[in-house]
Each structure stands twice: as C-alpha cells, then as structure tokens.
Amino acid sequence: MRTKVNPENTQFLFNNAMRRAARPSGTQGFFRTAPTGASRFWLNLNAAEDSFSQMAVAYTEEATTGIDFGFDGRAFADSDNIALYTVAQDIKLSIQARPSFADTDVVAMGYRATDAGNYTIAIDHTDGAFAGEQAIFIKDAVSGNVHNLKESNYTFATEAGTFNDRFEIVYTTEALGTHNPALTTDNVIVFKEGNVINVAADNAVITAINVCDIRGRKLYNNQNINAVQTTVKELTAQQQVLIIEVTTTKGKTSKKLVF
C-alpha cells in the first residue's frame, strides 16, 4: 500500500472481498500451534562467526512422508551463507512434517556452508515425545559417528559446499547398524583460515602431512603427527594451488587447496 507523505484525514477500508488465498507453494511453514499429539524438535546450525540456521521436524497424524502443503516449509538454502535442512522427495525443507512418531523413522538431513570450518548442530527446543527421554541421534556418513544430541551438541569439520546426504536423524540404536567407513577424500577435511591450513580426519588419526606445489616441490613435511586435527603454519606459498597429502591410520589421501 502506498500513500502521500503526511496525509490528512485519510481512512482505509479493508473487507473480506479483498482477501486473496495464498498459493500453495509449500513455504507457509509449520509454526502455528501444534495439533493434538504432535511431537516436534528444532535444530540449530552454528558457525564460529555466529552464522545461524534453524530447521524443524514435526510429527503429526495430519502429515505424510511426502510434501504437505500448509505444513512443510521450503528452505532457502541456495541463497544463505549457512543452512540446515531436511530432504524429502529431493526438496530441501526448513520445516518437515511427518506422520505420527515412530522411533524407527529415518530423516535425511543436509546443510550448506559457504566457508570451510567447524560447525555445530544443537537442539534448540522440543515438545511432545521429544520433551521426555526420547533420544535424537545424528548419524554422520562421513565420519561414521553416531551422536545423541540430547546428551551434547555435535561439532564437525567441513569444506565449503552443499551436502544433501551427509547426515541422517534416527531415534534408536537399532536403526544404526554397524558402520566402519574406509578412508576417502570425504573423510579428510582441509581448509584455509588466514595463513594457516587446517586438517581434520573424521574417523582416523592423522600420522603425517606432506605439502607440495603442483610442480612437485616439497613445501612442508611432518611425519610425527598423532592427532585427529592439526594445522600447517608458516608456509611461504602464496596465490598457488597446493597438494595436501594426508596419511592416517586408515590410509592416505590427497586434497588440492588454493593458498
């Protein structure tokens, strides 16, 4: 609505004839009062620089495992610097409604990070079944870790990008099975922070790091590392592509990094 600056004796009339139905886009969201018997939880994703994203999962007999217009809310993950969301039918959702709660359910969860670094997933608040002792586990496909968010927050290292299939939310240890992932490039995270290179291995201990340029010239070598996360400092390389070779207790892998 527009009007003149400082209007005098101006009146506005609104009536039901002016109402327009909202287009069922799936963006309305599930923020209204919970239906009877609903069980919900909200998760936050935080970065070190105080970036923030929130998503919610709501269980109610009124919903399905598909896309429920008026309940589910689409995530604007492609435009945000940081985003946490669930995935249903290949659609990213900041709010996902699902049928009545069963602890055998599995929910796919992804995230977007424009900057590499450490991120933390935490419970914001809960209601219904989740307000009690019902556990909320995060299953990390990269590290193989399974973590109960009811006990503590979950911090992980990541490279920049969009990752739709790294996490699953599960509610019972019976749904976990056994998982001992082999070392892959996805298990080792390498990112630049200022003039420091950070290296983290999600499911193994780092034993050695070798850094060279694309011509093969060795710039750094440390064969005495015994940690899951370490840093490479005092490199003289500037504005060039480096090859970071990481040796762990599970094998060896290499990453390229623009330094």
Q: Same domain, yes or no, for 166 and 195?
A: no
Q: Same domain, yes or no, for 51 and 153?
A: yes
Residue whose C-alpha is closest to residue 164's, from 92, 219, 107, 98: 92
* Residues 6 or more apart whose Cβ sits within 8 Å of residue 151: none
pLDDT (0 to 100) of residue 43? 97
Q: Work out the burial of residue 34: count CB atoms within 10 Å of its CB; fewer than 13 is exposed, 13-18 middle, 19 or more buried.
A: middle
Q: What is the pLDDT along the chain (259 residues), one digit of tens a residue?
A: 444 555 555 555 554 444 433 333 343 444 455 555 789 999 999 987 678 899 999 999 989 888 888 888 888 767 678 999 999 988 999 999 999 999 999 999 999 998 888 899 999 999 999 999 999 999 998 877 889 999 999 998 888 899 998 999 999 876 555 444 444 555 788 888 888 888 988 778 999 999 988 777 888 999 999 999 999 987 876 678 888 999 998 888 888 888 7
Q: Same domain, yes or no, for 103 and 217?
A: no
Q: Same domain, yes or no, for 163 and 195?
A: no
Would you say residue 251 lies in a domain? Answer: yes
Q: ∠ CA(148), CA(129), CA(143), 5° rounding?
A: 20
Hey, what amino acid is at 210? N
pLDDT (0 to 100) of residue 97? 92
pLDDT (0 to 100) of residue 24? 36
Q: Find the length of the chain.
A: 259
Whole-angstrom CA distances from 96 to 57, 69, 86, 108 are 5, 10, 7, 11
Q: Same domain, yes or no, for 134 and 245?
A: no
- Point out the domain boundary residue: 129, 152, 175: 175
Whole-angstrom CA distances from 179 to 109, 136, 250, 258 are 18, 18, 14, 33
Q: Same domain, yes or no, for 168 and 213?
A: no
- Point out the domain boundary residue: 140, 175, 210: 175
What is the domain extent for residue 118?
A: 38-175
Residue whose C-alpha is closest to residue 204's, from 228, 232, 185, 224: 228
Write down the residue that tokens 């004796």 correspond to.
9
According to DSSP, the residues that pair with 158 across neighbouring strands are 117
pLDDT (0 to 100) of residue 10? 54
pLDDT (0 to 100) of residue 22? 38
According to DSSP, the residues that pair with 39 across neighbouring strands are 59
* Residues 6 or more apart whose Cβ sits within 8 Å of residue 58: 30, 34, 38, 39, 40, 71, 95, 96, 97, 98
- Point out the domain boundary residue: 175, 202, 224: 175
pLDDT (0 to 100) of residue 217? 83
Beta strands in the chain (DSSP E): 39-47, 52-59, 73-74, 82-88, 91-98, 107-113, 117-127, 137-140, 146-148, 154-158, 161-170, 188-193, 196-201, 206-213, 218-222, 229-232, 241-248, 251-258
Q: Same domain, yes or no, for 193 and 126?
A: no
Q: How many domains does the chain have?
A: 2
